[in-house]
Structure 1
């Protein structure tokens, strides 16, 4: 009942100034971002793979190890920080993740060899894995249910982050006259974004839903009061009888040991419908993640024998096409398509784009195909990021999202190596593209068993759920 109360209070307060702050704090890399950071680093990996391969004369498999180290960190980070977020609070975990990413990205900037870079990327992935699962949870628990489509819109920062990174890389490639390789400069600039994120995130409050779930009624009231004052200019107070009821129901939680709490969370996650959710989401994220990560990491290679600056220019166009995909997805998730059929449509069309990518005979067709593909993939991911936290109950919401995102990275550990090996073969390109098409199609089909989470319109003051 605690989540229901928190949702009702947020709905009563409505959307306003504080809500916009949370939106940008969870969304925008320059002003404090979580998801954009993740896509920012995904694109940085592409430049690191290309640049380090030249600097250290790495083979395709060795450069793939760098991408796999990052993916391994993402796997562990989602699960570790998912548990921390459910046990010790969303904000405690949310502030720690960006600090881990900041320190490790500084290390990567000055790395001396493959091993040092792999270790730094592992730690960056650890922080980014936590970022990715926490951003949706934090925003979801600050957002009025009727405005939850903004969670889908937040995926626009995937496009913003990746496009901005591509522009920076393009400029550095053209203007760099120093002795430092371009990828080191790109990573160094990323450290500045991480620092800005960390500073702004220090001022974020704990979510009211988490406070209520832990029996911290006074804290929840204070947070809701802060939200109400900034959104409406009016103070907010919980009903005294409700406060006593919630406080009494949680008075015995102080005796729970942290270790026991962890096992309780894990047991709840792998029982009943929660287990079914984990399996479905893992299939979806894995089948979408393998081709998307491979295409992202190896796009300069897939584009063929063109200059590095030209490749970066093309990547800017491709990533920019993800921005309209987010707006289309944000509109579709609140129509009759809902969350799950938006996912199905998006990845089915992405799979179709792979066919045209396969038969592409010239660079123009390849550019158009991959740009449209990126639009559909981002459209699908934006809907996936919305339905994932909405589907899990609050007591396991963060660990559930973390586990799903973590497991989705398992295949990303091997996909750079597999894709790198395939592209080194004579007929590896067509085989890789066929695999991408099949996996995108599998993601589209896997969404069918999910329950639709799209809220229905308000009726007589109550928010109905589909």
Structure 2
């Protein structure tokens, strides 16, 4: 038989209406907006830190605790839902994560003190950590092989989420005449955003790659038929002899089932090339995430003594610059640069921007440099989000992505506290900027050992050749 893998069935069906639904369901407000939600909350926390610091008279370190609580949740969420997604299915996890984030954001809206807010932010991070490890996997397993560059384009919803939050914050700052803190209203608006996301996500189907990898051939055929009817208007059926051969092959090989122990999944992840992938990706995500998250969280502080309304307007401009970054990134990953050298180029340019931020003496230069930096970082992330799920085999793809994203959040737990402490010190700003530049450079160099995935995907063999 010539067709051996789920993505080859999807390639045969082609891109169409259902594919676009999954694209938006993995990115935007009309459905699950996984990446958009994550960056939305990264930017929300910048406003929460600034607002709660005034409302509860918090110190810089206490404000950093709020950011660290969210980062700790991201760490745990990546691990927990990475395992759940590979054991019980992508959709089981994908629907649970957004529900956790929705309930927790409601609690955060009405939080009374630092401790209640920290708990709510931890749970929001738990849900968002799961979102990050699942979004790339879900889209990758619904996408035809020839359209895999759309995985990079999905990162545009990072910029959509952050720009949306900045616009909401700006409008609220202008129009709020109540005694309710502006950060609470911003979080309440995000609750609506997530509610819409949850409703649309209820209608998503399990990925055919996951179903086929665990031997549920009939359900795989049903999902592929649904996709084909919406994409082409024609039904899709597997030949009965092919179904029997797939079933026999699956039963005869040593395959990890979702009922297998967590230890079995973890053991497979930390063997051979999978272990090397985990180490490389952890270094990349940690070194990119520390400066990026720090800059996001403390942008109002970095902008200096300007009005809140002006700060919100500037942040809108900065976050909007991420949109061309994604477009450039999604184009570059399919050029001769490929995935890994797009990462190198992007974060090298981000590191260079830190140099100009270091010597910046006026607000105009800071705005230009931070806007360019945001564009380059998002461009790099778009390539990272593409190569990560493509590199791991299907049976450990979700736990691998979850482990990588979880480890990257370990540093994010302490980075708000470290950055907050640095900015409270004399000459702390230049030290922080030098640290950011060095970490971006580490990320750029770390991409070199990766295998390029532009022309091939790592798969689970279902049939012998």
Question: TM tier, shorter chain?
Answer: over 0.9
Could you tell me which residue of structure 1 aligns to residue 148 of structure 2?
148
Could you tell me which residue of structure 2 aligns to residue 75 of structure 1?
75
Residues 71 and 361 (structure 1), Cα distance of their counterparts in 2 relative to 1, 3 Å cut: same
CA distance in 2, matches of 1:106, 1:63: 20
Q: 5+ residue gaps in structure 2?
A: 458-465
2:449 match: secondary structure: coil
Alpha-carbon distance, 1:253 to partner: 10
Structure 1 residue ranges, 4+ long, deviating more than 3 angstroms after superposition: 1-4, 249-260
Contact in 2 for aligned 1:85/1:92 (Cα 8 Å): yes
Contact in 2 for aligned 1:176/1:182 (Cα 8 Å): yes
Alpha-carbon distance, 1:234 to partner: 0.8
CA distance in 2, matches of 1:262, 1:243: 29
CA distance in 2, matches of 1:222, 1:454: 30
Residue correspondence of structure 1 range 326-341 to structure 2 within 5 A = 326-341=326-341
CA distance in 2, matches of 1:232, 1:258: 32
CA distance in 2, matches of 1:245, 1:262: 29
CA distance in 2, matches of 1:9, 1:394: 15
CA distance in 1, matches of 2:106, 2:252: 44
Could you tell me which residue of structure 1 aligns to residue 451 of structure 2?
451
Residue correspondence of structure 1 range 184-333 to structure 2 within 5 A = 184-251=184-251, 260-333=260-333
Could you tell me which residue of structure 2 aligns to residue 34 of structure 1?
34
Could you tell me which residue of structure 2 aligns to residue 427 of structure 1?
427
Alpha-carbon distance, 1:7 to partner: 1.1
Residue correspondence of structure 1 range 363-402 to structure 2 within 5 A = 363-402=363-402
CA distance in 1, matches of 2:73, 2:175: 33
Could you tell me which residue of structure 2 aligns to residue 122 of structure 1?
122
Residues 348 and 2 (structure 1), Cα distance of their counterparts in 2 relative to 1, 3 Å cut: farther
1:281 match: secondary structure: helix
Residues 3 and 79 (structure 1), Cα distance of their counterparts in 2 relative to 1, 3 Å cut: farther
Residues 254 and 396 (structure 1), Cα distance of their counterparts in 2 relative to 1, 3 Å cut: closer
CA distance in 2, matches of 1:237, 1:337: 38
Q: Deviations over 1:427-463 (max 9, x none)?
A: 1000000000000000000000000000279xxxxxx
Contact in 2 for aligned 1:2/1:212 (Cα 8 Å): no
- TM-score, normalised relative to structure 1: 0.96
Contact in 1 for aligned 2:214/2:257 (Cα 8 Å): no
Q: Deviations over 1:356-403 (max 9, x none)?
A: 000001100000000000000000000000000000000000000000
Alpha-carbon distance, 1:209 to partner: 0.2
Name the count of aligned residue pairs: 457
CA distance in 2, matches of 1:286, 1:238: 43
Contact in 2 for aligned 1:77/1:128 (Cα 8 Å): yes
Alpha-carbon distance, 1:263 to partner: 1.2
CA distance in 2, matches of 1:367, 1:351: 16
Residues 93 and 31 (structure 1), Cα distance of their counterparts in 2 relative to 1, 3 Å cut: closer
Residues 401 and 193 (structure 1), Cα distance of their counterparts in 2 relative to 1, 3 Å cut: same
CA distance in 2, matches of 1:30, 1:374: 25
CA distance in 1, matches of 2:381, 2:255: 40
Q: Please give the root-mean-square deviation of Cα atoms over the aligned residues, in Å.
A: 1.8
Alpha-carbon distance, 1:5 to partner: 1.4
